[in-house]
Structure 1
Amino acid sequence: MDNLKNISLEQLESDVHQNSLEAKKELSQLQELETYRKNFVGNVSHELKTPIFSIQGYLLTLLEGGMYNEKILKQFLERAVANVERLQFIISDLETINKIESGVLNLELSKIELKSLVEDVFSDLKILAKEKRIKLEFKSGADMQIYVNANREGLIRVFSNLIMNSIKYGVENGSTKVAFYPMDDKVLVEVSDNGIGIEQQHLKHIFDRFYRVDSNRSRKEGGSGLGLSIVKHIVEMHKGKITVRSTPNQGSTFGFTLQKRGN
C-alpha cells in the first residue's frame, strides 16, 4: 500500500512538473506572439506613415501657392503619385502575406520550363536594367531545358523580386546572372549580381518583414519592404528552401530549390 502511495505521489509530482513546463512553454509562445504582433503593427504603421506624410507635404505645398508654378505643380504631383503607388505596393504585399500565412492562398502546380519563364521576367525588367546599365543574362550551362513542378505566377514573383533587387542595388555596368544546377529530384536556382553586397550581420534578417539593410536607400528605391519575405514564403510553399550569401562590394547570390518534373 505504501508503495502505491509513493508511486502515486511520484506520478503526481511528475504530472505537476510536466504541466508546469507546458504552461511555461505556452506562456513563452504567447509572449513571442505578442512581441511579434507589436513589432508587426509598429512596422506597418511606420511604412504607411512615410508615404502618407510625403503626399500630405506635397499637397499642402501646392495649396499654399505652389500650384501656380507650373514646374512645381507637375513635379509635386508626380511625387505624390509615386507615393500613392508605394502605398498600393505595401497594401498589396500585406494582403499577399496574410493570404499565405492564413492558408487561404493555395498554389496550383503545373509543368514549367524554367529558362523560358526567366526570359519572360528578363523582358519585363529590361527597361529598368537598361537605365542602370545592368546586363541580364544566364550563366554558362543554363541554356538547358529544365522542367519543374511549380506555380507559374508564384515563380514569376520570386524571380521578378530577386532580379529587380539585384538591379536596384547593383552597380552601373554590372550584371545579374541566373543559373540552374540540376540535382537528383530537384534543381538549384541561383540569382547572382556583382552589386554592393550585404554585410554579414544583416544576412540572418534579410527575409524578415520590413527589414531594410539601408533604410534611406531602400525607401528611395521604392518597394514595400515585404518582397523577400514573400519570396521566402512562396519558395517554402513549393517545399523548397532559400538561402543567401554575400560579400560587401562584391555582390550577392540568392539560391533556392525547386522540385524537378520529367520532360
Structure 2
Amino acid sequence: MNIFRRGSVRWRIALIYFMLFFVVMTLVAVFLVNRIEQYQLSSLKENIAKTVSESNLPSYLGAYDSLSSHGDEIQSVLDSSWSSFSEELSVVDERMQICASTNPNLVGRSASDVFDASIIASCLLTGDPGESDAVLSGGIPVKNLCYGIENAKDPGVIYVRADLSSIQSFVSQSKLIFIRVILIALLATVVLGFALAGSITRPINDVTGTVRKMSSGDFSEGVTVNSDDEIGQLADMFNLMREKLSDTLSEITGEKNKLSTILEYMADGLVAIDLDGGIIHVNPAARTILGLDPEEPLPADYDALMGHISDNIGLERIKGNCEIHGAQDVFSYGSSIFAIHYDRFKDEEGEDIGIIILIQDITERQKLEDMQRDFVANVSHELKTPLTTIKSYTETLMDGAVDDPDMARNFLGIVDNEADRMNRLVKDLLQLSRLEQRQERMYYLEANIVELVRQCMVKVEMTAQQKGHQLNALFDEKMNIRVLMDRDRMEQVILNILTNAIKYTPDGGRIDVDIDSDGRNVQIIVSDNGIGISEEELPRIFERFYRVDKARSRKMGGTGLGLAITKQIVEEHQGTITAESTLGKGTKFIITLRVATHRGTPNID
C-alpha cells in the first residue's frame, strides 16, 4: 500500500498538523510583533514623560512671566542640562513662537510651521498632554509629544519630537526574525508531521501486513485477533502505548534528576515547606546562608529553621502575604542582607499544599544602592552651596547693592569664584565619570618618571616656599627609570599628591619626595609632617567627595574628587596607590607603577 498517496491517512494527518502549526505560529508572530511595537512606543512615551517630569523643567519654566523675553536663559538651560537628551525638545509660548530648543535651527521660528499646531493649541487650552504621529521630509517617522507648563505665568508648552526610525527598524528586524523562525519551524513541522503520522498509521499497516501474510499461508507471525477490526487495531495501539509510556517515564525521571541537579547547584537558597510549616526541602545554598551543617539533620519546622531570624519572615506573615502573588521581604542575618521571595504551590487539583521560598543575598546590591544615594546627596550638597551663595549675592545686587561700585565689585568677585568652583566640580565629575567608564583616552608613551617627578616639584616649589615648607628630593635625579604612561595624566596625579601635602601641612613643614625601584616596579613616595589622617578615616580618603577636614578643604577650593581621580588614573596605568598616616604626625602616599621593560601592553582605549 502506498502511504504517500495524496488521499492516505498519513498525508491527511501531516497536512492537518502542518496547517494548524502554520496558523498558530502566524497568529503568535503577528501578536508578538504588534505587542513589541506597542511596547516600544509606550516605553518611549513613558521615558520622555518621566524625564521631563523629573527634570522639573515645567515648574522652572512656569516661574517666568514671559517665555519669549527669557529665551536666552531657557536656551542656556537646555544647552547645559539637555544636551545629552536623545530627542528634540523645544519650548513654545502661547503665541506659537519657539523660544528655545535643543535644535538651534528651530529657535525663533513659528511652531505652526514646523510642529503639529493642533496638539499645541489643545495643550495650551486644556493643559493636558497631547501626542500625534508625523513623517518628516526624507521619510523619517516621528512621535510628537506636548506637555503643558505647570502654574505658568506665561502659558506655554514643552514640545518633544521623538525619532521613531529605530523603533520601526527594530520592529522590521523582529518581523524578519519571526518569518525566518516560522519558515524553519514549518520545515521541521513537515518532517515531524510525517514522523508523527507514521507512528499512528504504522500499527495499522503492520496488522494489515500480518493478515495478508496469514491469508497466503504464512503463520510465522501469529496474531491475537480473528479479523481485521477495531479491536485488533486497539490491541496493537495498546502495545505501542505501553512502549510510549515506558519512554515517558524515562523522560520524567530524567527531568526529575535535572531539577534535582539545578536545586543542588543553584546560587540562591531555596526552601519548600507545607502549610503547617513542615520542612519539605532545603537546598545546599539555603543551608549555607542559614549556617546549617550539611551533615546535621534539618530543624523540625520552618520557625526553627528561619522564622525566628526576623518577624518579617515568620510563618504566619508569609502565609498571609502569599495572598499577594509574588510577595517578598528583606531581612538581615549576621553581616549580610537577604531578600526572600515566596509563593504558594499547588497539587494536581489546584489546591494549595505548600510554600516555596527563594533566598537571595542582596548585600552587595544594597551597598551599591547606598553608594549611589550617597553620591547623589553629595553632588546635590556640593552644588547647592555655591548656588546658594550666587543666589544670595545676586539678590543683594538686584536690591540696590549694584549702585555701590566697591560692594558690587566685591560681590561679583564672590559670584565669579563660586562659579569657578562649580565649574571645577563639574569638570572633575566628568573626568571621573570618563575614567570609571574607560572613556578617557590615554596616550601612552615611554618616559622617565624621575624627570617627571622633578618637573612637578619645580612647579609647586614656589607654593611650598610661600608657606615656608622644605620640599626635599631624596632620590638621585640622574636616575632614568622608564615607565609606559600618559604623561599629562601622571603629571596630574603627582601634582595632586604634592599639592595636598603642601595644603595640609602647617606653615614651616617638611615634604619629602623619594623614588625607589627594584627593576620591576617603581615607587613614588611623598611624605609630609602635616596634620595627618585618623585611622578611621584613612580607608575612605579615595572615595568621591570624602574630605577629612571638610571646612578646610572647601576653603582651599577642593572639590573632594582629587584623590578619587588620582586613584582611577593610577589603576588605569595598572598601578596602585596607598596611603599611610598618623593623626598629628603626617601622611605618606605611595604610588607603585610597572617599569616599562616589565610591563605588558597597556589597555589603550
What is the TM-score with the length of structure 1 in the denominator? 0.88
Per-residue deviation at 1:138? 0.9
1:70 to 1:207, Cα distance in 2 relative to 1, 3 A: same
Q: Which residue of 1 aligns with 2:569?
A: 234
Residues 498, 526 of structure 2: 8 Å contact kept:
yes
User: 5+ residue gaps in structure 2?
Assistant: 1-249, 270-284, 286-357, 598-605
Q: Secondary structure, in 3 states, of the residue corresponding to 1:190?
A: strand
Match of residue 264 from structure 2: 14
Identity within the alignment, % = 33
Q: 1:43 aligns with which of 363, 369, 378?
A: 378
Deviation at 1:19, TM superposition (A): 4.3
Q: Name 2:204's counterpart in structure 1.
A: none
**Which of 533, 551, 559 in structure 2 is aligned with 1:198?**
533
Alignment of 1:214-253 (within 5 A): 214-253=549-588
Deviation at 1:174, TM superposition (A): 1.4
Per the alignment, do residues 7 and 89 of structure 1 end up closer, same or farther by CA in structure 2, a change over 3 Å counting? Answer: same
CA distance in 2, matches of 1:142, 1:18: 55
Cα distance, 1:121–1:19 mapped onto 2, change above 3 Å: same
The one-letter amino acid paired with 1:18 is: A
Regions of 4+ moved over 6 Å: 3-6
Q: Within 1, Cα distance between the matches of 2:456 and 2:475?
A: 19
Query: Distance between the aligned counterparts of 1:146 and 1:13, measured in 2?
Result: 56
Alignment partner for residue 156 of structure 1, among 487, 491, 494? 491
Larger radius of gyration: 2
Q: Give me the whole-angstrom Cα distance separating, in 1, the residues matched to 2:401 and 2:469.
A: 37
Q: Residues 163, 10 of structure 1: CA spacing in aligned structure 2 closer, same or farther, 3 A cutoff?
A: same
Q: Distance in 2 between matches of 1:59 and 1:124?
A: 37
> Hey, what's the Cα distance between the residues in 2 that align with 1:215 and 1:5?
62
| Alpha-carbon distance in 1 for matches of 2:486, 2:436 | 17
Contact 1:149 1:258 in 2 (8 A): no
User: Which of the residues 106, 121, 125 maps onto 2:456?
Assistant: 121
Cα 1:145/1:10, change in 2 over 3 Å: same
Instruction: Decide whether aligned partners of structure 1 residues 4 and 140 sit closer, same or farther in structure 2, where only a CA change above 3 A counts.
Output: closer
Aligned Cα RMSD in Å?
2.5
AA aligned opposite 1:224: T
Three-state SS of the structure 2 residue aligned to 1:24 is: strand
> 2:53 maps to what in 1?
none
**Segment drifting more, 69-78 vs 163-172:** 69-78
**Stretch deviating more after TM superposition (169-178 or 128-137):** 128-137
- The offset of 1:4, in angstroms, is 7.3
1:14 maps to a residue whose letter is: E
Correspondence list, 1:29-40, <5 A: 29-40=364-375
For residues 73-116 of structure 1, the C-alpha deviation after alignment (integer angstroms, 9 at most, x for no partner) is 33322222221111111111111111111121132211121232
Q: CA deviation at 1:30?
A: 3.5
Larger deviation: 53-62 or 138-147?
138-147
For residues 60-71 of structure 1, what are the structure 2 equivalents within 5 Å? 60-71=395-406
Alignment partners' CA distance in 2, 1:9 and 1:258:
50
Provide the rounded CA distance (Å) in 1 between the counterparts of 2:561 and 2:377.
14
**Pairs within 5 Å for 1:132-211:** 132-141=467-476, 143-211=478-546
Residue 213 of structure 1: aligned partner? 548
Contact 1:194–1:251 (CA under 8 A) maintained in structure 2: yes
Rate the CA distance shift 1:186–1:23 in 2: closer, same or farther, 3 A: farther
User: Which stretch shows the higher mean deviation, 41-50 or 107-116?
Assistant: 107-116
Instruction: Answer whether contact 1:142 1:180 (CA < 8 A) is retained.
Output: no
Opposite residue 85 of structure 1, the aligned amino acid is D
Partner amino acid, structure 2, of 1:248: L
**CA–CA distance in structure 1, aligned partners of residues 387 and 462 of structure 2:** 28
Q: CA deviation at 1:9?
A: 6.1
1:179 CA displacement: 0.8
> Which of structures 1 and 2 has the larger relative contact order (alpha carbons within 8 angstroms, sep 6+)?
1
Q: Give the TM-score normalised by structure 2.
A: 0.40
SS in 2 for 1:198: coil
Which consecutive residues of structure 1, in runs of 5 or more, have no partner in the other structure?
A: none
Determine helix, strand or coil for the equivalent of 1:201: coil
Residues 5 and 145 of structure 1: is their aligned pair in 2 closer, same or farther, counting only changes over 3 Å?
A: closer
